[in-house]
Structures are given as structure tokens and as C-alpha cells.
Amino acid sequence: MSITIRQQIDNVASGTGAISLTLSSAQSGDTVVAIHADNFHTAAGLTTPTGTAVGGGWTLQHTLDGGSSDSHAKVWMGTVTTDGGTVVEGTANTDHERYLGAWVLQGAVLYDTAASAETDSDSTTHVAPSVTPTVGKTDDLLICLFGTGNGLSTNYTGMPGGMTARTERDASTFMTVRCADEQLASDAATGTRTATAADLRHCMTVSVLVKTVPPQEGALNSSAMSKMGLGLGI
């Protein structure tokens, strides 16, 4: 069962107030995956998002910690409680470059797994790690983030084949981030995904998998509970 992306929206900031994203397509019950990244301070400075879209709170699912004064990223998930709303980045510092992206996903969606990498070696080849689906039996949505991490921007001249490349975001001349996503056709490992930068840059990458809740599992669980006399008032 495929996942429907109702909306994908992202933005960057450089030394300004917090990034705010308007989820104009979000409907109550949708899942929001938010990826927050920066290029300075510490991972602890990426605090919990705020805004009106996710009234029940956010769950931190993954952290990329590049260390002090380097690149960091966090993956958050939450459920939309009212149609529309905003997602506002959580940050303890607004004197550096940050990225915030949100994916509004229709229907019940589970976090599956994620992996990330950060390197202080210059390269034009930015590689998002391979990830292997672990939850349920339906196919995953893969989301990848590619970003520069040494205080310099670039242009991504090539994005991974088969993926939908999202808008390239430049935070002044200090950081570039571009994301891509793809509905997978199998439960096999994704393999690495590679973006090509126009210039030699340090990089940070994140690979995230989310999955629909298999309907057959819900039915099987109900049947098992019935036989055990659980959950049905027996």
C-alpha cells in the first residue's frame, strides 16, 4: 500500500527568526515527518518543533550529531490534530544556518528506521546511507536529505535516479540543502543514494523510512485478541 504525500514544504534561514511552514494541505489524522538540520552549534540546539499543526506533540525518531560547531539533523514525527496549521522549527540559536522540511502523509503511518552520515572531507559526491525496512510487510517511503556542512553553499547538479527531487534551498552562501523522496517497490535494502555537488564540500546526509500500517495486521491482531478474550469485553 503506497503512501500519499499530500504536501511537501521546506525552507532555510540564516541568522533570522525561526522557520515557519504552513501545512495548507494537512488534514486531521495525517502524519507529519519533519527534518530539521543546521551547520553549527550542537545537536542539542535543535529543540522540539512548535506550531499549531501537531497538537499532540512530536516524537524524536533520529539524531545526526556531527559534534560541536558542525552539522546536525533531527527527524521528528507527529499527528495532525486539526486541518492545516503550522510547523515552526525549534532552535536554541538563530545566529546560524538552518533547514526545516515537512512531509504531510495521508493515513496511518509508522516510523520505520533512519540512518545518517556526516563528513568533514571535501567531496562532490554526497552519499545518503542505505536503510533496510523493518516494520510490517508493506512498502516504505524513503526520504533523503543532502546538505553541505562546512559553511559553504553549492549547487546540486545531480540527484538520485528514481527519486523526486525537491527544491534546492540555499541559506545565504553558507549552507545548501536538497531533499528527495521515493515510494519503494520492495522491502529490500534501499542501497545508498548519491547526490552530486558542483563544488567540493563537506556534507551531511540523512535517509528516513516511513511505512503505512498494514491493514491485515490490524485484522489479525483483533482476531487474536478475540480468541484470547481480550479487548472485546469478554
What is the per-residue pLDDT across 116-168, written as a single tens digit (0 to 9) for each? 999 999 999 999 999 999 988 788 899 999 999 888 999 999 999 999 999 99
Has residue 78 been placed in a domain? yes
Vertex 224, ends 219 and 226: CA angle to 5°?
95
Has residue 160 been placed in a domain? yes
187 near 109, Cβ under 8 Å? no
Has residue 98 been placed in a domain? yes
Has residue 122 been placed in a domain? yes
Has residue 113 been placed in a domain? yes
What is the share, in percent, of the chain residues with pLDDT greater than 90? 83
Residue 214 predicted with pLDDT over 90:
no
**C-beta neighbour count of 57 within 10 angstroms:** 11
Residue 39: what residue type? N
Has residue 220 been placed in a domain? no
Has residue 174 been placed in a domain? yes
Identify the residue whose cell numbers are 508493506. Answer: 138
72 near 42, Cβ under 8 Å? yes
Has residue 128 been placed in a domain? yes
Q: How confident is the model at residue 201 (pLDDT cuts 50, 70, 90)?
A: very high
What is the rounded average pLDDT for all residues in the chain?
91
Dist. CA 19–CA 226, nearest whole Å: 48
Encode 30-45: b = buried (16+ Cβ within 10 Å), e = exposed. bbbbbbbbbbbbbbeb
**C-beta neighbour count of 103 within 10 angstroms:** 26
pLDDT of residue 232: 36
How does pLDDT run across 10-40, given as a tens digit for each residue?
999 999 999 999 999 999 999 999 999 999 9
Residue 123 lies in domain: 5-213
Look at the chain and report how many structural domains it folds into: 1
pLDDT of residue 225: 31
Dist. CA 175–CA 37, nearest whole Å: 10
pLDDT of residue 213: 83
Closest CA to 132 of 210, 189, 211, 185: 189
